[in-house]
Amino acid sequence: MARILIADDDLLILTLLQEILDDAGHEAISVSTGLEVEKILAQQPVDLLLTDIFMPDREGIETIMLTRKAYPDLPILAMSSNSDYLRMANKLGADAILAKPVNEDELLQLLDRLLKP
């Protein structure tokens, strides 16, 4: 199906998201910082970026803005437990937002919508 880059500094959340995406037939690449997002995107194409807002090295808002500038057509899904930051992420380049804790059905519906040509 799709190659999805997941960025979150919480290992439990990364593992959970990886399992959900694997079970849905997607290929998931997991990183824990915004700087790692930049490195992966420079090395290989992905179909979607799923990023947390609060991360070390480079937080999600900056990651979203830089990714949007470098890859304007790449769908970006931002996630956080903070609704204010989610709204900010949406205004600054995220195509969709997802509240934590992540609901599997909602995540898969958003992915389907964002990955449609």
Tens-level pLDDT at each residue, the chain (117 residues) = 899 999 999 999 999 999 999 999 999 999 999 999 999 999 999 999 999 999 988 889 999 999 999 999 999 999 999 999 999 999 999 999 999 999 999 999 999 999 997
Q: Name the pTM for this structure.
A: 0.95
Sheet with 48-52, strands from edge to edge, namely: 27-31, 3-7, 48-52, 76-80, 96-99
Specify whether the CB–CB gap between 69 and 52 falls below 8 A: no
If DSSP codes are grouped into helix, strand and coil, which group holds residue 71?
coil
Tell me if the domain spanning 3-25+33-112 has CATH number 3.40.50.2300: yes
